[in-house]
Structure 1
């Protein structure tokens, strides 16, 4: 039986754990807060920035899924370097495969749909941090010190996605509550949104297939749709008429909201993702492994069900 170790118990890590446990696999979830273990899932409290502690906690791992993330953008520079170095050290020590949850920040502003062959040219601080993580891991992979791959998706949404997701507190909740929606950027620009259960299934697929190692993969993602399209689709699924969509100026987010929520200031670096088309392709994954993205209406319906249960 494969020994699966998951770093982080947010929406992605928790979904990976639930899927694996449902298959009868051995699962350990490591997080800073720990928690009570449940049938099929052992929870362990550990600080992923502590290389010695993390190496001890991951002993016996066959595959490590990194689903952890610093709490906010403003913490990336301080937390990612020691945390990812500790993760690499743990995977190397145990000879475990490492599947990293990535994103599209590494590409920076683009004018065409992104593929796994799009150059890593992000000029932004957060993008450069992600590029450095990728390069460090691939150097160890090339040297034969570990097996590494990364699953990259666009803005994640779905059950469990809250304030850290654009399709979360900011957009989905007001639609469910029958209110108008305020969005960032161009509400009509096509944008790729990646469904969290598709991310979890992709991570598991990559961790169990030798064809995955040594390159990035884009998570199967439904065709791009604008923020307004997603709002309209949710309203239709709820049996309601059109929802009012307004646009928040960037200066309000950065100067006003950013005072109370420092992490929001980091959104300025990624505004290109919302001010124009931001589209990714995931044909490589589907062509290689056969997995298709969840249809948008199905994903939105499941997301709405989760929100209605949460708000009830």
Structure 2
């Protein structure tokens, strides 16, 4: 039984901790606020930008997981010191650094995205993520540290708070039978990442040496547009489909003047105004991981998402 240290106790960190415990590992979760330790998961209060404290908390770990989630509009300022501290701590402790990442690095896609797709993002958030990965990969290639990265599309599942998911935030609307206002084109095809599949991928990358030195996509079911996905979610609780309408981009730009979160969404409109689909076949072929069937994802999400009961 190895020690696995997770930095961040949000949905990704908590679900990954549960998955690692189920595999028989010892798990320690680090966060600014700490938490109540249990028989299976130890919680410690640690500032992840404090490299000495982070190193001490990760000492003896087989893997160190970056499951941090800075505020969307503060990536450019918050991520560089966090990423640098995590990389240094992994180097000092010789733990494998497993980073939870996303698809921002690819910019506007011209087809299904694979881990080998060019990293051509031009927006601020995409460039931040590119720099993080390139710094980690350079350290890996120099023999200083061992790294790997999981990239996933937008999250779905009962573990995901509404503010963290474009689908989950619509669940109260579905239950009330009201119009769903969505970002971008409601009919553009989109990949969705079920959070337990994200956790399974992270846990695998942290325990299999074949993962090292490259990025991997989280297996996802065949893409569904926002309209299709919301229709499926409504059907799971036997309610009629609700009207689904895209919020006009000029409206979002106007709102974004005062609301930083909305402003950041407009900056990555390419993820929502065209098909945004991933190819995770390499993950499946190498590790045997597959996506949870969509109907199971839908049932679980509706059973435990916001507005239940």
Same fold (TM over 0.5): yes
Q: Which residue of 2 aligns with 1:186?
A: 185
Matched, 1:299 2:297: yes
SS of equivalent to 1:191: coil
Instruction: Tell me by how many angstroms 1:86 deviates.
Output: 0.2
**Partner residue in 2 for 1:36:** 36
Match of 2:261 in 1: 263
How far apart in 2 are the matches of 1:187 and 1:159? 22
Offset at residue 264 of structure 1 (A): 2.1
**Deviation at 1:200?**
0.3
- Name the stretch that deviates more: 242-251 or 129-138: 242-251
| Structure 2 CA distance for aligned equivalents of residues 278 and 271 of structure 1 | 11
Q: Would you say how many aligned residue pairs link Structure 1 and Structure 2?
A: 308
Give the equivalent residue in structure 2 for 1:15.
15
Q: Deviations over 1:105-128 (max 9, x none)?
A: 000001111111100000111000
Q: How big is the alpha-carbon RMSD for the aligned residues of Structure 1 and Structure 2?
A: 1.3
Q: Assess if the C-alpha contact under 8 Å between 1:63 and 1:98 holds in 2.
A: yes
Secondary structure in 2 matching 1:144: coil
SS of residue matched to 1:36 = coil
Structure 1 residues 119 and 64: CA distance shift in structure 2, 3 A: same
C-alpha distance 45-254 of structure 1, shift in aligned 2 (>3 A): farther
Distance in 2 (alpha carbons) for counterparts of 1:185 and 1:280: 18
Which runs of 5 or more structure 1 residues have no equivalent in the other structure?
none
Task: Kindly report which structure 2 residues correspond to 1:54-93, keeping only aligned pairs within 5 A, or say none.
Answer: 54-70=54-70, 72-93=71-92
Partner of 1:155: 154
Question: Which runs of 5 or more residues in structure 2 are unaligned?
Answer: none
Moved over 3 A (4+): none
Q: How do 1:1-312 residues align onto structure 2 when only pairs under 5 Å count?
A: 1-70=1-70, 72-161=71-160, 162-169=162-169, 171-256=170-255, 259=258, 261-307=259-305, 311-312=308-309
| CA–CA distance in structure 1, aligned partners of residues 295 and 211 of structure 2 | 29
Displacement of 1:262: 1.9
Equivalent-residue separation in structure 1 for 2:269 and 2:171 (angstroms): 20
Q: Name whichever of 112-121 and 154-163 sits farther off.
A: 154-163
Q: TM-score of the superposition, structure 1-length normalised?
A: 0.95
CA deviation after TM superposition for structure 1 residue 237, in Å: 1.0
In 2: Cα distance, 1:21 partner to 1:284 partner: 26
Contact 1:24 1:40 in 2 (8 A): no
> Aligned to 2:18, what secondary structure does the other structure show?
helix
Deviations, residues 236-269 of structure 1 (Å, cap 9, x unaligned) = 111122211122112323322652x422211112
Compute the displacement of 1:160 (Å). Answer: 2.5
In structure 1, C-alpha distance between the alignment counterparts of 2:308 and 2:127, rounded to whole Å: 38
CA spacing shift, 1:168–1:254, aligned 2, 3 Å = farther
The 1-side partners of 2:115 and 2:247 are apart by 32
Q: Deviations over 1:165-224 (max 9, x none)?
A: 21222x233113432211111100111111111000000011111111001101111111
Q: Contact 1:181 / 1:246 at 8 angstroms: preserved in 2?
A: yes
In structure 2, how many angstroms separate the alpha carbons of the residues matched to 1:272 and 1:125? 14
Partner Cα separation in structure 2 for residue 302 and residue 5 of structure 1: 28
